[in-house]
Chain A
Amino acid sequence: MDVQTLWFILIAFLFIGFFVLEGFDFGVGILLPFMSCNDRERRTVINTIGPFWDGNEVWLITAASGMFAAFPDWYATLFSALYLPIVIMIAALIFRGVAFEFRSKHDKPAWRNFWDWSIFWGSLIPALLWGIALANFIRGIPVDGSMNYTGGLLNLVNPYALLCGITSLLIFTLHGAIFLALKTTALLQEKAMSFARKLWAPATLLCILFMAFTRTETDLFLHLGINPGIIPVFSVLALVSVIFLLKKNAAGWAFAMTSVAIAFSTITIFMGLYPRLLVSSLNPAWNLTIYNSSASDYSLGLVSVVALIFIPVILIYQGWSYWVFRQRVTADSELEY
């Protein structure tokens, strides 16, 4: 395996980490205003992700910096092409990020309410935009021979991309609802469960619809960089199984299944793309690939060593932090504000 392929896999892995982990804390953020009107209960909801959300977000930052180091042209083309959507996403993440810290620092209801809605929008917008962005990468965007984006903002808004955006939004929300059911008790838990049950049908339906349209709208299943085989099927099956697990109150397994669904969908996309990074809708010769966009072998080798040593270490201590905060958060226990 060449080092470019290794980095393609690593970046796929970083995105999987981001979608699976930040996916549920986006979901929790989206559900926050609807879980309760009571401040203590809202704080309980926030505290289920309080210790984790920032570490989860670093998976995105790392994916971006990995793109920069391994495939500078990919990083440059992508971030300049999606300029305004990224500005919007950053604005959302800024509001959300400070909201977690600022919310508790003042006790006026209007203040708390404002930050709760910041968390809501700050979670909803990126969850939607990531779906839209992903759809555009695989469908192709107008990129010219010098790797520069030649389209406008409207090129990014198309029915297929919107479908993918709403799908990712619903799946993350479902993922978050199940996480909440795992981490809370009593009334909050029941509410989370009921949200999960309600969200399941539309999320699954849209996911299947999205897969179907991916067949017609993209060459993902035709080009077959690497044949994903039955991985997409597993992804759908995992999602289908969620409702049965929820009915049995097996939230832990249901959470595992939404994680599998998110991870396998991401894997499908990356496998279908390989060795492409970004599809040019103008000319296949202008596609960005892991070979025409990569850094030198020396730089790639260097960052590979660091990544291969430290990603396992990161997994260990992040895993340990999840272990430390494994207990359910309840409104009657003492809450860290």
Chain B
Amino acid sequence: MNDSMDTLFLARSQFAFTSIFHFFFIPLTLGLSIFTAILETAYVRTGKEKYRQLTKFWGTLFLINFAVGVVTGIVMEFQFGMNWSQYSRFVGDIFGVPIAIETLLAFFIESTFLGLWIFGWDRLPKALHAASIWIVAFGSTMSAFWILVANSFMQSPTGYTMATGGTRPELVDIMALLLNHNVWQQFPHVLAGGIVTAGFLVIAISAWHLGKGTIEQNAFETSLKFGAIFAFIGTILVILAGHSQMQNLLKTQPMKVAAAEALWESENPASFSLFTIGDEEGLKDVFSIRVPKLLSFLAYNSFEGEVRGIKNLQKEYEKRYGPGDYIPSIVTAYWSFRFMVGGGTLMLFISLIALYKVIKESYTFSPLVRSLLFWSMPLPWIANTSGWILAEMGRQPWLVFGLLKTEQGISPATVVSSTELMISLAVFITLYAALAVTDLFLMKKYASASINSAE
């Protein structure tokens, strides 16, 4: 392995590791901020002490995770320049715009109003205090929007022209950047994913409390009720947005879809893979169970329609972009897609059970139902993470689709050496492992505590 291969591998590993870890906390805090805001609004409107206590209880869990989300976000903000300096030079004219707007519009209000919310319980009028957490939630949502505007440019570039001399793309149409189809599918998808993540956490913890028998029965019944509605609405939205995103991908990144389906040859109508073991070298099935016509239906809402296969796309891309390997890691794309969709389907099923229980106001669960509700907690994390792995790995070998390959984006090895990368990766792994342990320790402590102790 030569040094530039080495640095590429290390830089990619570090980016993957730090962004996946960061994204453990983002959907959760996005959803929990909205959830906490709803509870506090209920408190302001009804004046019931129960809602104030619930706000504090879920708000504490929100704060613990928000802190980790914030500090791991600093890494993301600097890492483009640190590890991906050639990428930053190449795409800064466009990518920098939403990043800068994100800090101006989102980070300032999040941080300032969160400070007001944490320390302002006795200083601010009730309604203004509740407004603060709504503003934090709004800030987090804005942050998600602008970062997805930036990411969407990498997925399917719009609104640019190549600068004279062809050295870099330059922004010429901000509306085209903002109205990128990818933004308007990815953003609702991620936002709904956040709602789902918070919803399932609330369901799991509430069910756990109700199951072990608590004097705060009523408060956790309310939590479960809110959580079940939250999770159900979120799951429906996430599936709808995901579905339309997939249809759009067929137009903008057909290779990602083909890889996610292990579809070697173009098919019309195209079949949907239930289970495939493939030969990635030979680009063929070893073993496969497929549902005929289903992929065409998912793609075009009709049992007709061609979905292009990996081999055909490879030929097409060679013609358009020159010789090279344009096939992403199929095993990664295929399985991340299945984990995401499988997780989503399970969550739809489980959120329906929770909703049914809530509607029937039956809060005594059989051990099976209680375990099911509790152990469904990790599902959103599995789906969120595999969703992002699909989005980013399925785009390979491109860093910016059609414009810049990943290997062209890293900082030159003469600037950031493999030794430096190994040191930084070791630092982040150690640090994040410690953060994870501490976060889980505190989550367990505060999630299992009684509601009053969150005061």
Contacts and interface: CB of A to CB of B under 8 A. Distances in A.
Q: Do A and B belong to a common assembly?
A: yes
Given A150-B414, A324-B124, A68 B96 contact: yes
Interface of B: 60, 63-64, 66-68, 70-72, 74-75, 77-78, 80-83, 85-86, 88-89, 91-97, 99-105, 107-109, 111-116, 118-124, 163, 170-172, 174, 411-412, 414-416, 420, 423-424, 427, 431, 435, 438, 442, 445-446
Question: Among A52, A78, A321, which residue has the most Cβ atoms of chain B within 10 A?
Answer: A321
B97 A77 contact: no
Contacts of B96: 65, 68-70, 72, 75, 295, 299, 303
Given A102-B64, A307-B104, A148 B115 contact: no
B51 to A, nearest CB: 20
Contacts of B116: 51, 321, 324
A66 B172 CA distance: 19
A75 B93 CA distance: 12
Contact of B67 (A77, A100, A306): A100
Contacts of A150: 414-415
A113 interface: no
A187 interface: no
Contacts of A62: 100, 103-104, 107-108
Contact of B171 (A57, A98, A147, A296): A296
Contact of B74 (A61, A81, A325): A61
B81 A80 contact: yes
B97 A303 contact: yes
A81 B88 CA distance: 14
Contacts of A87: 82, 423-424, 427
A105 interface: yes
A311 interface: yes
Question: Among B172, B415, B438, B445, which residue has the most Cβ atoms of chain A within 10 A?
Answer: B415
Question: Among B63, B66, B74, B445, which residue has the most Cβ atoms of chain A within 10 A?
Answer: B74
27 contacts: A47-B119, A50-B115, A50-B118, A51-B118, A51-B119, A58-B111, A62-B108, A68-B95, A75-B88, A79-B82, A80-B411, A86-B78, A94-B71, A94-B75, A102-B442, A106-B442, A148-B85, A295-B96, A295-B170, A298-B172, A303-B97, A306-B104, A317-B109, A321-B115, A321-B116, A325-B123, A336-B118
A157 to B, nearest CB: 15
Nearest first, the 10 closest Cβ-Cβ pairs linking A and B are A72-B92, A79-B81, A69-B96, A51-B115, A101-B67, A69-B100, A76-B85, A97-B71, A54-B111, A76-B88
B88 A94 contact: no
A90 interface: yes
Nearest to B66: A101
Interface string A18-55: 00000000000000000000000000000100111011
Contacts of A76: 81, 85-86, 88-89, 92, 411
Contacts of A84: 420, 423-424
B99 A97 contact: no
Given A73-B89, A314-B104, A321 B112 contact: yes
A302 B97 contact: yes
Nearest to B116: A321
Contacts of A101: 63-64, 66-67
A57 B123 contact: no
Given A50-B115, A87-B424, 4 more contacts: A64-B81, A106-B442, A295-B92, A317-B109
Nearest to B122: A334
A212 B87 CA distance: 39
Contact of B427 (A50, A91, A147, A148): A91
Contact of A105 (B91, B109, B423, B442): B442
A83 interface: yes
A46 B411 CA distance: 39
Given A83-B416, A94-B71, A105 B112 contact: no
A282 to B, nearest CB: 14
A249 interface: no
A52 B82 contact: no
A83 to B, nearest CB: 5
A310 B142 CA distance: 14
A310 to B, nearest CB: 5
Given A79-B78, A324-B120, A148 B107 contact: no
A318 interface: yes
Contacts of B124: 324
A149 interface: yes
Contact of A98 (B67, B93, B420, B423): B67
Given A72-B96, A90-B78, A101-B63, A61 B438 contact: no
Contacts of B438: 98, 102
B80 A148 contact: no
A336 B119 contact: yes
B100 A68 contact: yes
A66 B171 CA distance: 16
Contacts of B120: 51, 324-325
A93 interface: yes
B111 A55 contact: yes
